[in-house]
Amino acid sequence: MSRSTQRPAPPRRQRTEDRRPQIADAALRILASKGAAHLTAAELGREVGIADSTIFRHYRDMDEVVLAGIDRVRALLDQTFPPPEDPPLARLRALFLGRLALMHEHPAVLRLASSDRLEQVAGPEGARRLRETILRSRRYIEACLREAQARGEIPAQLDATVLGWMVRGTLQVAVASTAGPRSSESRTPEAVWEVVEALLRGARHHVTAGESP
């Protein structure tokens, strides 16, 4: 996925403000395509088109680089929170589809976000920030579910927390199953969501007689 070599050499001598996002993005790209073990200063420099030592002009640490990458991911994730005026299941749908699209476009997000134990990749501070972001998503999703339960759109007797796990888990596996290079069983995001929503709404089936609509 990384096209380090073809990338046209960017103009050298850029300002730190310009370099920092370049580096952070490159870090995410490497993380996504080759994994944490390959995220070295040398590889990063190659990806950006600068010397490895130059990285430390713009970031103090490799840790700081990863942190910056995480913050970019967080920004992306935060953009997918739908407007609060929509009804709960619509918001949930928008979030689900948005995240699916996002992770499809930025595989590194998946790599980071789906890992609940990323102290190793991100250092304690990065882990803290990611956990916070995940927590926000969790709360958001649960709030939507509870609101939908209150409105009687989904069964109230089901534990909203566990329903939240279901939504998040399905999202994770869907991304993983769709994203991989060898995935033979991809589904459109909408199709996935429809199943989730059907489950939530209580898919009646043994449909007895003609009372379906």
What is the distance between the alpha carbons of residues 213 and 210, in angstroms, rounded to a whole number?
8
The entry of a second copy, DNA, none near residue 161 (CB within 5 to 8 angstroms by kind) is a second copy
Determine contact, residues 24/109, Cβ cutoff 8 Å: no
Residue 114 has φ and ψ, to the nearest 5°, of -80, -10
Q: Determine if 58 is a binding residue for DNA (CB under 7 A).
A: yes
Q: Determine if 185 is a binding residue for a second copy (CB under 8 A).
A: yes
By CB under 8 A, name the one of 61, 120, 132, 190 that touches a second copy.
Answer: 120
Q: Determine if 200 is a binding residue for a second copy (CB under 8 A).
A: yes
By CB under 7 A, name the one of 7, 21, 51, 191 that touches DNA.
Answer: 51
Q: Determine if 52 is a binding residue for DNA (CB under 7 A).
A: yes
Residue of 36, 68, 39 whose CA lies nearest to 52: 39
What is the distance between the alpha carbons of residues 77 and 72, in angstroms, rounded to a whole number?
9
Question: Angle 113-114-115 (CA atoms, 0-180°, nearest 5)?
Answer: 90
What is the distance between the alpha carbons of residues 27 and 126, in angstroms, rounded to a whole number?
14
- Two structure tokens written together for 1: 């996925």
Q: Determine if 202 is a binding residue for a second copy (CB under 8 A).
A: yes
Q: Determine if 172 is a binding residue for a second copy (CB under 8 A).
A: yes
The entry of a second copy, DNA, none near residue 60 (CB within 5 to 8 angstroms by kind) is DNA
By CB under 8 A, name the one of 28, 109, 130, 154 that touches a second copy.
Answer: 154
DSSP per-residue letters across 165-200: HHHHHHHHHHHHHHHSTT------HHHHHHHHHHHH
DSSP per-residue letters across 116-129: S--HHHHHHHHHHH
Which residues are within 8 A (CB) of 15 and not within 5 positions of it... i.e. 6 or more apart? none
Q: Determine if 114 is a binding residue for a second copy (CB under 8 A).
A: yes
- Two structure tokens written together for 137: 């998503």
Residue 102 has φ and ψ, to the nearest 5°, of -60, -50
Site for DNA in 1-40 (CB under 7 A): 12-16, 19, 39-40
- Two structure tokens written together for 74: 């967080």
By CB under 7 A, name the one of 7, 60, 139, 204 that touches DNA.
Answer: 60
By CB under 7 A, name the one of 41, 94, 158, 179 that touches DNA.
Answer: 41
Q: Determine if 163 is a binding residue for a second copy (CB under 8 A).
A: yes
Nearer to DNA, 19 or 91 (CB): 19
Provide the binding-site residues for a second copy, judged by CB under 8 A. Answer: 34-38, 111, 114-117, 119-120, 152, 154-159, 161-163, 165-166, 168-174, 176-177, 180, 185, 187, 191-192, 195-196, 198-200, 202-207, 210, 212
Provide the binding-site residues for DNA, judged by CB under 7 A. Answer: 12-16, 19, 39-43, 45, 50-58, 60-63
